[in-house]
Amino acid sequence: MKKILLSIGIASLTIFSIQAQETKTDNAAIVNPNAAVITFETDVIDYGTIEQAADGIREFKFKNTGKEPLIISNATGSCGCTVPTWSKEPILPGNTGVISVKYDTKRLGAINKSVTVTSNATEATKVLRIKGNIIAPKTSPVKEGATGPVEN
């Protein structure tokens, strides 16, 4: 019984001493007033309803509205069916750029995917979205046995 009480006492002291320690962490991030700022025309592209195997390439247009060059270090799709590409060159202040996204339109059904962009901008990580719906291609009906005009 003494061992149990002693163990509880030591555990209690440990917990109280850990809680009593003062930590000096400042959650406020240091913001560079001259940093690059990435400003997208839109952060959602709607493909609408398109047919299977249609052109799946769309572009997210943006501008560097900051005071330093913008460097996009990475852009990743939420799955292998969404592939982004972008310029590896710095985007100077006031200049524009695009992130091109290719979606695999061989897949039928709803599109709801994301592209995560990582850069040196004030908003270091930005999530862009694509949405839409892919339907089977329309085919014209063909009558069975039809071989051409019928003569009387």
d(CA 23, CA 11): 21
> Regarding predicted confidence, which is higher, 49 or 13?
49
Residue 94 structural domain: 38-135
In a domain, 56, yes or no: yes
| Residue 65 domain flag | yes
- Range 16-24 contact pairs with CB under 8 angstroms and sequence separation of 24 or more: none
- Identify the pLDDT of residue 64: 97
Q: Is residue 88 part of a domain?
A: yes
Q: Provide the CATH number for the domain around residue 82.
A: 2.60.40.10
Q: Give a yes or no: residue 22 inside a domain.
A: no
| Model confidence, pTM | 0.71
The answer on pLDDT for 17 being more than 60 is no
pLDDT in tens, 94-104: 999 999 999 99
CA torsion angle 78 80 84 89 (round to 10):
100
Residue 12 lies in a domain: no
Tell me if residue 12 falls in helix, strand or coil: helix
Give the pLDDT band (50/70/90) at residue 139. Answer: confident
* Residue 73, domain member (yes or no): yes
Instruction: Give the pLDDT confidence of 50-84 residue by residue, as tens digits.
Output: 999 999 999 999 999 999 999 999 999 999 999 99
**CA 75, 79, 41 angle in degrees (round to 5)?**
45
Q: For residue 54, what pLDDT is reported?
A: 94
Q: For residue 101, is it within any domain?
A: yes
Short-list 74, 82, 77, 84, CA closest to 124: 74
pLDDT at 1 over 90: no
Pair of tokens at residue 62: 């943006």
pLDDT reported for residue 22: 47
Counting the structural domains of the chain, the total is 1
